[in-house]
Chains A and B, each alone.
Chain A
């Protein structure tokens, strides 16, 4: 298996032989695509263009580009876990054209200088980095960060990382203030005070002897988020839902017209809490993996449109982070490169939804939340494309992956589909 990812920067390239697929626009054809100065210039059968870099994409499917709403890298502060470059490489390998980066770096991304640093560091990469600004200074949950300054510096939204905003008053204040800048607020919903549980509170936490996190912790956070958004009549995005009750709350809120959106991770769509029983630190997630009935409710909500997006929640960790007692290992897993394959297995291969819906969850859904127009395969549109191999049995091996993170719950597991790369403006990444 050739796993090498090749990058190309070129003002004129011709993608030949691929299937073009954009179900939302009714596109499903075998045509060539000419990208000129970052724009889709021509589409047609057997195109011949003088001077264009020709790429043979036989067997691949070109779809509207994926955008990730939640990833954490290590730079600056923990470059051993992930640098901006390695993280964006991983995103390219996962088929993403843009990635939202949580502000959890050291120092925190809560000021214009940090935003500028992140944008400068990522400027020459194929994948667009979308920094998220911290809601409170230093993510300390005390006073608001300078949200206006962050907006002018170019953040894509606001996010309080893994802590979330504690208390309805704090959330209301943040939502009320941030809406002035027209940027989305990403909330990780949970009620404070339940302590540092390691896994879902239930039979699994009991058997493992670990402190658990009850569903209640999340359900109360979701309820609070919905009520605050409803009261403020403002848009709020809830991240990483994991319980049946929280998707039910969301469903009801949407039915009465509350402007809340939500996402979940592929991990929570595919795994249940029993995956933790072996004390594998890569299964220690936040929110924790939940019992099977929650996983099924979540998959159903993703399929039927209650959830808007699937985010990778990429949180790479290195060997030394994991090589310790389970309670001392960090939460999260490296997931950018497996997100699509895992979600495809959990939703499409299991018959819960069609490929169209999965593509929406990876592209149109997240773009809508960020206030971006949908990516398109039409002539004249900016080239933001994901390249997929929909018939590619492969096995995830951390050592062959782009990410520096070694904490994948999928090590050694096999999948049926795989992103082959992406196109973003003048940039292209392609495996093999």
Chain B
């Protein structure tokens, strides 16, 4: 409370983070800028700040996603929030207790925010209509996974400076990907050009209507990219109509050192949201190479989630 003028007139216009589709470029940059400050905090001997003391965050995970949950949990703890983990299978909300009842029960224990992972698209929006708490989407089916896209943006911004005009190609299963849409929205809003590359049955035809260029040839995609974001191939989601075998997938679309040596610019960066299937969508010698920013993504993930929690739980105190 020094005698300074009013604080900076910035902030998020949203109560929740349900997706990036309706976040502005300004809001995205605010999150990334704030995350940079938290990256500094993560470099300190004591990697914890008291910012969210007294705030309770519930991690409501209806799908197994150990990494995302740990990343959120780490972010919450480093902000001194109290955290509770709740895991259940989505199918239990189909048969037993409804999602509303589960969430309402948890909210009745006086919480401030819910971080939710759920297989059903739109479920975070649904939850935001049921509860007063702040809702943060940790992945709702193939709809959005905004914090993953934000951490990708942070990683690229730190590596490349501005993303204006940079060509970022998502490689793999776009159709079932939980990160594709958020990445497209986020990248386009900060001025990057988004491209996708994958087996045609796994690339939604209408993606071009979003201004996204489509490649069916991975080498052509590599030649025309500054960044490859290699998505995980989840075999359980695929049937024989999508592609014949993992072996053929690797032959046709695998990102290998040989392909990069022949077709990539020296500066090309390789990302992967993890967990990686070595030898399927990405070769080991690429994942572990100097081009790979995969581990930076993980570090940045904690900082971005700290920023999101900090910005959304700022503003008015919760009325008890």
Question: A-side interface residues toward B, CB under 8 Å?
Answer: 201-203, 205-210, 279, 320, 323-328
Give me 11 A-to-B residue pairs in the complex whose CB atoms sit less than 8 angstroms apart, sorted by A's number: A202-B206, A203-B206, A206-B210, A208-B143, A209-B122, A209-B141, A325-B118, A325-B126, A326-B123, A326-B126, A328-B94
Q: Which B residues lie within 8 Å of A201 (CB)? A: 206
Q: Which A residues lie within 8 Å of B204 (CB)? A: 205-206
Q: Which A residues lie within 8 Å of B21 (CB)? A: 207
Question: Smallest CB–CB gap between B174 and chain A, Å?
Answer: 9
A323 in contact with B100 given A206-B206, A209-B143, A279-B125 (CB within 8 Å): yes
A324 in contact with B143 given A202-B206, A203-B210, A206-B181 (CB within 8 Å): no
Which listed residue, B99, B181, B207, B209, touches A325 by the CB 8 Å rule? B99
Between B118, B120, B126, B209, the greatest number of chain A beta carbons within 10 A of the residue's beta carbon is seen for B120
Complex contact B140–A209 (CB within 8 A):
yes
Q: Which B residues lie within 8 Å of A320 (CB)? A: 98
Distance of A326 Cα from B143 Cα, bound (Å): 12
Distance of A326 Cα from B99 Cα, bound (Å): 11
Question: Smallest CB–CB gap between B320 and chain A, Å?
Answer: 26
Complex contact B209–A203 (CB within 8 A):
yes
Q: Which A residues lie within 8 Å of B98 (CB)? A: 320, 323-324
| B121 sits at the interface (CB 8 A) | yes
Complex contact B120–A328 (CB within 8 A):
yes
| B200 sits at the interface (CB 8 A) | no
B250-291 vs A, CB cutoff 8 Å, 1 = contact: the mask equals 000000000000000000000000000000000000000000
Between A203, A207, A323, the greatest number of chain B beta carbons within 10 A of the residue's beta carbon is seen for A207
Q: Which of B54-100 contact A (CB under 8 A)?
A: 90, 93-94, 98-100
B99-127 vs A, CB cutoff 8 Å, 1 = contact: the mask equals 11000000000000000001011110110
Question: Smallest CB–CB gap between A294 and chain B, Å?
Answer: 14
Q: Which A residues lie within 8 Å of B178 (CB)? A: 209
Question: Smallest CB–CB gap between A199 and chain B, Å?
Answer: 10
The residue on A at minimum CB distance from B62 is A325
The residue on A at minimum CB distance from B182 is A209
Distance of A78 Cα from B126 Cα, bound (Å): 25
Q: Which B residues lie within 8 Å of A279 (CB)? A: 121-122, 125-126
Between A201, A202, A206, A320, the greatest number of chain B beta carbons within 10 A of the residue's beta carbon is seen for A206
Q: Which B residues lie within 8 Å of A205 (CB)? A: 204, 206
Distance of A333 Cα from B207 Cα, bound (Å): 29
Distance of A209 Cα from B126 Cα, bound (Å): 14
The residue on A at minimum CB distance from B98 is A324
| B144 sits at the interface (CB 8 A) | yes
Q: Which A residues lie within 8 Å of B192 (CB)? A: none
A206 in contact with B118 given A323-B100, A324-B98 (CB within 8 Å): no
Question: Smallest CB–CB gap between B225 and chain A, Å?
Answer: 22
Q: Which range holds the interface residue count of chain B? A: 20 to 34
Q: What is the count of residue pairs linking A and B with beta-carbon distances less than 8 angstroms?
A: 64
Distance of A325 Cα from B99 Cα, bound (Å): 8
| B202 sits at the interface (CB 8 A) | no
| B142 sits at the interface (CB 8 A) | yes
Which listed residue, B93, B140, B210, touches A324 by the CB 8 Å rule? B93
Complex contact A326–B120 (CB within 8 A):
yes
The residue on A at minimum CB distance from B130 is A323
Which listed residue, A202, A203, A325, touches B122 by the CB 8 Å rule? A325
Complex contact B206–A325 (CB within 8 A):
no
Q: Which A residues lie within 8 Å of B120 (CB)? A: 325-328
Question: Smallest CB–CB gap between B238 and chain A, Å?
Answer: 13
Q: Which A residues lie within 8 Å of B209 (CB)? A: 203
Distance of A320 Cα from B98 Cα, bound (Å): 9
Complex contact A209–B181 (CB within 8 A):
yes
The residue on B at minimum CB distance from A276 is B122
Distance of A406 Cα from B142 Cα, bound (Å): 28
Complex contact A209–B94 (CB within 8 A):
no
Question: Smallest CB–CB gap between B273 and chain A, Å?
Answer: 16
Complex contact B181–A324 (CB within 8 A):
no
Complex contact B99–A206 (CB within 8 A):
no
Distance of A202 Cα from B126 Cα, bound (Å): 22
Q: Which B residues lie within 8 Å of A208 (CB)? A: 121-122, 143
Distance of A210 Cα from B144 Cα, bound (Å): 11
Q: Which A residues lie within 8 Å of B207 (CB)? A: 206
Q: Sorted from nearest, which 9 A-B pairs have the closest CB atoms?
A: A209-B143, A325-B120, A209-B121, A279-B122, A209-B142, A326-B122, A325-B123, A203-B206, A327-B120
Q: Which B residues lie within 8 Å of A210 (CB)? A: 121-122, 141-143
B143-157 vs A, CB cutoff 8 Å, 1 = contact: the mask equals 110000000000000
B201-239 vs A, CB cutoff 8 Å, 1 = contact: the mask equals 000101101100000000000000000000000000000
Question: Smallest CB–CB gap between B164 and chain A, Å?
Answer: 24
Question: Smallest CB–CB gap between A322 and chain B, Å?
Answer: 10
The residue on A at minimum CB distance from B178 is A209
Question: Smallest CB–CB gap between B16 and chain A, Å?
Answer: 14
Distance of A328 Cα from B100 Cα, bound (Å): 13
The residue on B at minimum CB distance from A214 is B205
Question: Smallest CB–CB gap between B140 and chain A, Å?
Answer: 7
